[in-house]
Chains A and B, each alone.
Chain A
Amino acid sequence: MGQPFRLSEGGTIDRSRELWFTFDGRRYSGHPGDTVASALLANGLRCVGRSFKYHRPRGVFSAGPEEPNALLRIGSGGAAEPNTRATMQLLQDGLVAASQNGWPSTRFDVRRLHDWLSPVIPAGFYYKTFMWPRRGWMTYERHIRRAAGMGSPVFDRDPDWYAHRHAQCDVMVVGGGAAGLAAALAAGRAGADVILVDEHDAMGGQLRFERRVIDGLHGSAWADRCVDVLAATENVRLLRCTTAFGVYDHRTVALVERVTGTAETLPDAGAPRQRRWLVRCGHIVVATGSIERPIVFSGNDLPGVMLASAARCYVNRFAVAPGRRSVVFTNNTDAYRTAFDLARAGLAVAAIVDARPNVDVETAALARNLGIEVLHGHTVRSAHGQAAVARVVTAPLDGGNDSPQARRAFDCDLLCVSGGFSPSVHLYSQIGGKLTYDERLAAFVPGDPLPGMTVVGAARGTYMLAECLREGTEAGTKAAHGDDVRSHAAAAAPICDHEPAWSLRALWQVGGAKGKRFVDLQDDVTVDDVALAVREGYRPIEHVKRYTTLGMGTDQGKTSNMNGLAIVAELTGSPIPAVGTTTFRPPYTPVSFGALAGPRIGEHLAPTRLSPLHEWHAAHRATWIQAGPWLRPRAYVRDGDSFQQAWQREVLTVRRAVGLCDVSTLGKIDVQGPDALTFLDRVYCNNIASLQVGRCRYGLMLREDGIVFDDGTVARTAEQKFYVTTTTGNAAAVMAHLEFLSQTAWPELRVSLTSVTDQYAQIAVAGPASRAVLARATNADLGNQTIPHLATIESRIADVAVRVFRISFSGELAYEIASPADHADRVWEHLLQTGAGDGIAPYGIEAVTALRIEKGHIAGAELDGRTTPGDLGLGRFVSRRKDFVGRHMLQRPGLTDPGRKGLVGLEPVDGMTPVPAGAQLIADTDSAPPLPMQGHVTSATFSPTLGRPIALALLSGGVARAGEVLVAASPLIGLAVRVRVVLPAFYDPEGVRLLAE
């Protein structure tokens, strides 16, 4: 039984209950209130993972979001999450944790060999060595990736779901430490809508583990009271376990809230695992605190070397002894608190090694009273031990006395290190705030204030508690009142106990000893690696970062960047501000893909649009095809039919009898107004001005650059009223284009545009028997006198008011019927019943495609954004007598060159081999490559009508080359088919069928 390193008293864990978890397959216990890191330490587990490159043993290094070492895989199956920081993961009963990057195990890792080989694998080694021969990289990379890496990804489907939420507030306070709580209290009291977020499970920040007194209460009790007050304030929302990971434009703050797995019990069914918030804020108060950084020395990566404030946190908050006998190595006053708190908890403190020559009398007296030896002007030169730290060697810093006689050795199992603090300026910096270097703090702090953002407390380098409380209160008040602040009495800041003055002596690294000195623990970057990069001429810190990978891990160098750039400054003899920082980009800490994707996964990735006749299609065994956002019937498979048989039967039904096709997905635009005719005449390249009421016409639309944009029909249904259709794929783009022209180019034209795509269903009735069926269905005379080709009339089918257009895409005698969407099923069913004796049947997209290729009609594959009307054989439509969009640009020599690719038909020479769509057209297959590519196959099908494969292509020189034999080559599928160039009209080239009497 366990927890040998749990202290018998103190802390805020619940000793009355035990939680059981497993780590690498073994069972351990902890208590409610523990993190996984504190529970591992309580059980004496010092090595919790292996390092990225050298596979060295690593232990828990911090107690917060900055953790570089203790990255675990938490959970199992699809719910597992790799690279989880043990310091941020609350312990739950039944939790399954596993170490990463140890093989075969964390305790015994054969790849530790990398460590002994390390002299030959410096920074940039892989780039330099494995890039030759070039093809080799493909092979090496796999092995390198396997050997050097973080946790492995999870391939099973995540069983959890993730929510998205949008919100707004007057004041967003990021960070629930002393300054943030004070800000939220002040802003909330002033009546502002406040959101206070904190990444930890309990508000209070450092107060959760410091022995401080505020307003007469212990720090954590004061924080709890603040939370009670805020929770009772209606206009304040508190979000625990929530990270503000990015600040975006116009004061948008992105949050990720860990919803389940945050209480000590297993998650409720139904709750999202995480929730991503986007919050628009009137003002942002950044109270994100600071992160302690280590000092770099030989052996500084051994398990048992820990940030001083983290050691204090484990003792005071979790009642865990991170070691039995410690040495504290510091360059500032703060770490003395760690020594004192360890001693008060009954743990031995061998020495405080302080780089500074002295300390304030108050602190010195405390050390004396607790019997702790202080070595001033000294450093830890090296740490030693096999699996964990066992001994440290100190040396004097000043006077250059590095003689062995001046060194002292201390046995210890814990080395607490503090090299000062780096303010968490991430959010300020993400939106362009410029940092300035503060010599006194040896830290970068926010420079000029940004509009809409106030940085307070340790995040701006204010380390004294009293000042943090005052700054927070002031910022909260101001944020709530805006410019109006003077009319309000300033809220009084909470009062805290006294603390001794804080001072620091900049110290980044200690040299002299043999052994690796790690700057970046997560990426295994050493001082030697940084020095090599500098020697090789990498100067901007961004280049040093990318060459050495310093700060490029999942921790983004929270404990290493500052040391790295200071060491670069030392090596290059430049001042630290001249070296500067690398860029801070969101996210502040890793965010799961699940939280970013939220509910927009699978079928919810994008909306699926369904035709008003969708239910009917589904009930009649349609197979589906995705057409943009639409789901359309591809073919209707009958008993005994294969898919191929089905669509070929449908083609022949249209050619021989009559077919029915749902074309509701076409874009439909209602165009009205006194100038509607003028407007349409300008947007189509063919003449529209002469269109009479009751007639319709093919319309070809160009882009401003003269390239074909879209085609469709224009029907004039009344003097000032037009019904325009577009292709399915371009419906939205055409609408936006027309609106742009109407609002920016010709605002003087009185025209109104309304999308009616969803309001009308449209049904094509095509085939020789279509007139007879439709005449019966409408009880109207549909002779050529009443409704000739390209005419439109109003009518009724099954008591539904419809509009009938005589237009044809199939080349047969054909009509399209527009009906109100809500009644489309009645019209459709009635037509089917009426035509039953004529062999009527529905046909899908596959048949539509075959029918239009047989006729040489263009569709999306030919409207590829590169073709002119002339290329597509539509040059005759282009008006020479009017102005239209694209007219001038169409005259450019490049677009009128007779050598351009033009639309042709293709037939296999053997009359039977299918022509692969997408194939390139070449002269022959015998010549050596490269072969000039003369064109490509755009659309291909088997023609059921002709009984052989046919295709459309764009070929240099176009139809002038009819009769030539070429090869359609598709190396991707290993096909090369000899094809003959023909005119792009395989069936009824004279177009007599659609004019049928």
Chain B
Amino acid sequence: MLLIPCPFCGPRAHVEFNYGGDALRTRPAADEADSIGAWIDYVYLRENPRGAHREYWHHASGCRAWLIVERDTLTHEITSARPATEDRQ
């Protein structure tokens, strides 16, 4: 059972979280030219690396923050978890 270090709540069991998938994708800007290709990438394409990965986790049974968690898909080692809001500001 994974232990996710929520920056607001401290280390918590992963059962408190919902998985949000690949966090490497970026949502296209509203006015992006030739946007359909970018949208298809965003909506459907997911990285699935073996090893280090960035993922969204939603602390649904906690502070309700969406986090970006750095997790190794091979070892499950989690190296960081920070608020998703920080990523865009």
Q: Interface of A with B (CB < 8 Å)?
A: 248-250, 252, 278, 280, 432, 704-705, 732, 736, 739-740, 743-745, 747-748, 883, 888-889, 891-892
Q: Is B60 an interface residue (CB 8 A)?
A: yes
Query: Could you say which residues of chain A place their CB within 8 Å of the CB of B65?
Result: 743
A747 to nearest B CB, angstroms? 4
Q: Assess whether B9 is interfacial by the CB under 8 Å rule.
A: no
The CA of A278 and the CA of B2, in the complex, are separated in Å by: 12
Residue pair A889, B39 in contact (C-beta under 8 Å): yes
Q: Which of A280, A432, A745 contacts B27 (CB 8 A)?
A: A745
Are A248 and B27 in touch, CB under 8 angstroms? Answer: no
Q: List, in ascending order, chain B residues with CB within 8 A of A248's CB.
A: 1
Question: Chain B CB within 10 Å — which of A280, A739, A891 has the most?
Answer: A739
A536–B18 alpha-carbon span in the complex (Å) = 47
Q: Is the CB of B84 within 8 A of A743?
A: yes
As a 0/1 sequence over residues 62 to 75 of chain B, the CB contacts with chain A under 8 angstroms (1 = contact) are: 00111000000001
Q: Is B36 an interface residue (CB 8 A)?
A: yes
How far does the alpha carbon of A413 sit from the alpha carbon of B50 in the complex, in Å? 57
Q: Does B24 contact A (CB under 8 A)?
A: no
Contact across chains for A250 and B88 when beta carbons are under 8 A apart:
no
**B35's contact among A278, A705, A736, A888, by CB below 8 Å, is which?**
A888
Q: How far is the CB of B3 from chain A (nearest CB, A)?
A: 5
Would A252 and B42 count as touching, CB distance under 8 A?
Answer: no
A740 and B36: CB pair below 8 A? no
- Cβ of A705: which chain B residues have Cβ within 8 Å of it? 43-44
| Proximity string of chain B (12-36) to chain A, C-beta cutoff 8 Å, 1 when within and 0 when not | 0000001010000001101000011
Q: Which residue of A lies closest to B87 (CB)?
A: A744
B11–chain A nearest beta-carbon distance, Å: 9
By beta carbon, the residue of chain A nearest B42 is: A704
Give chain A residues whose Cβ lies under 8 Å from the Cβ of B53.
Answer: none
Cβ 8 A contact of B3, one of A280, A432, A743, A748: A280
Residue among B28, B43, B83, B87 facing the most chain A CB atoms (10 A cut-off): B43
- Do B36 and A743 touch (CB < 8 A)? no
Q: Name the distance in Å between B19's Cβ and chain A's nearest Cβ.
A: 11
Interface size on B, residues (CB 8 A): 30
6 pairs from A and B in contact (CB 8 Å cutoff): A250-B3, A705-B43, A739-B58, A888-B28, A888-B36, A889-B40
Nearest-neighbor residue (CB-CB) of A450 within chain B? B75
Which chain B residue shows the least CB distance to A755?
B64
Q: A739 CA to B64 CA in the complex, in Å?
A: 8
Q: Check B76 for interface membership: any CB of A closer than 8 A.
A: yes
Give A717 to B52 CA distance when docked, in angstroms: 46
Give how many A-B residue pairs fall within 8 Å (CB-CB): 61
Q: For residue B44, which residues in chain A have a CB less than 8 angstroms away from its CB? A: 705
Q: Take A744-B56, A747-B88 as given contacts and tell me if A249 and B1 are in contact as well, using a CB distance cutoff of 8 Å.
A: yes
B85 contacts A747, C-beta separation under 8 Å = yes
**Extra A-B contacts (20), CB below 8 Å, given A252-B1, A739-B66, A888-B35:** A249-B2, A250-B76, A278-B1, A280-B1, A280-B3, A704-B42, A704-B43, A732-B60, A736-B60, A739-B58, A740-B20, A740-B58, A744-B66, A744-B88, A745-B27, A747-B88, A748-B89, A883-B30, A888-B39, A889-B39
Question: In the complex, what distance in Å separates the CA atom of A739 from the CA atom of B85?
Answer: 11
Bound CA span A278–B85, Å: 33
By the criterion CB–CB under 8 Å, are A889 and B60 in contact?
Answer: no
Query: Inside 8 A of B58's CB, which chain A residues have their CB?
Result: 736, 739-740
Q: How far is A280 from B13 in the complex, measured between Cα atoms in Å?
A: 10
Residues of A within 8 A of B42 (CB): 704
Interchain CA distance A933-B39 in the complex, whole Å = 32
Are B1 and A747 touching (Cβ within 8 A)? no
For B88, the closest partner residue in chain A by CB is A747
Contact: A743 with B66, CB < 8 Å?
Answer: yes
Most buried by A among B36, B39, B60: B39
CA distance A745 to B58 in the complex (A): 14
CB-nearest residue of chain B to A745: B27
Give the residues in chain A near B75, CB-CB below 8 Å: 432
User: What residues of B have a CB within 8 angstroms of the CB of A280 in the complex?
Assistant: 1, 3
Partner of A891, one of B28, B36, B78, B85: B36
Residues of the A chain whose Cβ atoms lie less than 8 Å from the Cβ of B18 = 736
Q: How far is the CA of A373 from the CA of B72 in the complex (A)?
A: 60
Residues of A within 8 A of B56 (CB): 740, 744
A427 to chain B, nearest CB (A): 16
Rounded to whole angstroms, the CA-CA distance of A743 and B84 in the bound complex is 6
Q: Which chain A positions have C-beta within 8 A of B64?
A: 739
A892 to B78 Cα, complex, angstroms: 38
Closest-by-CB residue of B relative to A251 is: B3
A835 and B28 alpha carbons, distance in the complex (Å):
54
CB distance from A501 to the nearest CB of B (A): 40
Distance between Cα atoms of A432 and B3 in the complex (Å): 18
CA distance A278 to B87 in the complex (A): 34
Q: Which residues of A contact B87 (CB under 8 A)?
A: 744
Which residue of chain B is the closest to A741 with respect to CB atoms? B27
Given contacts A250-B2, A740-B58, A892 and B84 within 8 Å (CB-CB) = no
Q: Give bound CA distance, A252 to B11, whole Å.
A: 14
Question: A888–B35 Cα gap in the complex (Å)?
Answer: 7
A748 and B27 alpha carbons, distance in the complex (Å)? 14
Task: Quote the shortest CB–CB distance from B12 to chain A (angstroms).
Answer: 11
Question: Is A892 a contact partner of B36 (Cβ separation < 8 A)?
Answer: yes
On chain B, the residues within 8 Å of A736 by CB distance are: 18, 58, 60
A252 to B85 alpha-carbon distance, docked (Å): 31
Complex: chain B residue closest to A732, CB-CB: B60
Inter-chain contact B83/A743, CB cutoff 8 Å: yes
- Rounded to whole Å, the gap between the CB of A19 and the closest CB of chain B is 40
Does the CB pair A747–B89 fall under 8 Å?
A: yes
* Cβ-closest chain B residue relative to A740: B66
- Across the interface, B84 reaches (CB within 8 A) one of A252, A744, A748, namely A744
A882 to B, closest residue via Cβ? B30
CB neighbours (8 Å) of A740 from chain B are 20, 56, 58, 66
Measured CB to CB, the closest approach of chain A to B7, in angstroms, equals: 13
* Residue of A252, A739, A743, A892 most packed against chain B (CB within 10 A): A743
Q: Is the CB of A250 within 8 A of B1?
A: yes
Interface centre among B78, B83, B88 (most CB of A within 10 A): B88
A639 to B18, CA, bound (A): 47
The chain B residue with its CB closest to the CB of A744 is: B84
Q: What's the Cα separation between A740 and B27 when bound, in Å?
A: 12
A891 to B34 CA separation, bound complex (whole angstroms): 13
Chain A residue at smallest Cβ distance from B40:
A889
Q: Take A250-B76, A278-B1 as given contacts and tell me if A743 and B27 are in contact as well, using a CB distance cutoff of 8 Å.
A: no
Residue of B nearest to A747 (CB): B85
B23's nearest neighbour on chain A, judged by CB, is A744
Shortest distance between the CB of B38 and any CB in chain A (Å): 8
Does B39 contact A249, Cβ atoms closer than 8 Å? no
Residues of A within 8 A of B28 (CB): 888
Residue of B nearest to A703 (CB): B43
Name the distance in Å between B78's Cβ and chain A's nearest Cβ: 8
In the complex, A280→B87 CA distance in Å? Answer: 31
Query: How close is A749's CB to chain B, nearest CB, in angstroms?
Result: 11
> Once bound together, how far apart are the Cα atoms of A931 and B78, in whole Å?
53
Chain B CB within 10 Å, residue with most, of A705, A736, A744, A747:
A744
Q: How far is the CB of A920 from chain B (nearest CB, A)?
A: 29
Q: Output the least CB separation between A888 and chain B (Å).
A: 5
Known contacts A249-B76, A739-B64, A743-B65; A889/B43 CB under 8 A: yes
Q: How far is the CA of A188 from the CA of B43 in the complex (A)?
A: 53
Cβ contacts under 8 Å, A883 to chain B = 30
Q: Which residues of A contact B30 (CB under 8 A)?
A: 883
Give the complex CA separation of A830 and B84 in angstroms.
47
In the complex, what residues of B have CB within 8 A of residue A732's CB? Answer: 60
Cα distance A649–B44 in the bound complex, in angstroms: 48
Query: Shortest Cβ distance from B58 into chain A, in angstroms?
Result: 6
